[in-house]
Structure 1
């Protein structure tokens, strides 16, 4: 039974590490604050969840496993609260989410209709 538990714990640890790496890449690649917060929350719930459960299976002591379980519960409670506070702070700083059909911030200058290619000022 011990080799099965050992293999399952390492599988969970590797799976959690995979989700953490993918989430970190997602945080760097996402276009705005709200999409980055979504990627970070995926890292929180899946990556850390799998990693801590794998560590709980790997531990020899029931006390260590219980401490890891309480850490996981605390983290699952605190993470949504922190994400909500960050979203509220971003909204109160007038940061708007970028929509899929929003072309305002794709490198074109808003001051000229041709995207900043002409050097002449805009005429009213």
Structure 2
């Protein structure tokens, strides 16, 4: 087997994986009802699908041509901006009250800290041997 044949198989596998993830992301975008659940399909699955397609492009460029590194910049931009845009879309939906807001945190000093409630202190202390 030559490097061209191996490269062709690698490109084909990456294209199939990328197309499958893009298809799953599209189906998820169409099937989910509200905007908060619909948000996960294009950001999570779509990022992996586009990443696999760009990886196929990189492999093809390195095996059959001089090579190209532009795809790395596209992947870096995509992997950085997709979570940020998803966060902003989720914040807009929460502020518009178009979805169920997350529950408020408890009113004690144990939420998001290392403090342990009085009732659980004996469970949290390590046993002394």
Asked if TM exceeds 0.5, the reply is yes
The one of 47, 54, 59 equivalent to 2:49 is 47
The one of 5, 14, 17 equivalent to 1:15 is 17
Counterpart-to-counterpart distance in 2, 1:23 and 1:50:
14
Judge conservation of contact 1:9–1:55 (CA < 8 Å) in 2. Answer: yes
Q: How does 1:21-40 map to 2 (within 5 A)?
A: 21-40=23-42
User: Unmatched 5+ residue regions in structure 2?
Assistant: 102-129
Counterpart-to-counterpart distance in 1, 2:45 and 2:10:
20
| Pairwise CA distance, 1:97 | 4.2
Q: How does 1:99-118 map to 2 (within 5 A)?
A: none
SS at match of 1:96: coil
Counterpart-to-counterpart distance in 1, 2:95 and 2:42:
20
Counterpart-to-counterpart distance in 1, 2:34 and 2:100:
7
Judge conservation of contact 1:16–1:51 (CA < 8 Å) in 2. Answer: yes
Query: What CA deviation, in whole Å up to 9, does each residue of 1:49-97 have, x standing for no partner?
Result: 11110111011232x2x10111101110111111111111111111114
User: Unmatched 5+ residue regions in structure 1?
Assistant: 99-124
Distance verdict in 2 for CA 1:97–1:56, change over 3 Å? farther
Shift >2 Å, 4+ stretches: 42-45
What's 1:114 paired with? none
Pairwise CA RMSD: 1.5
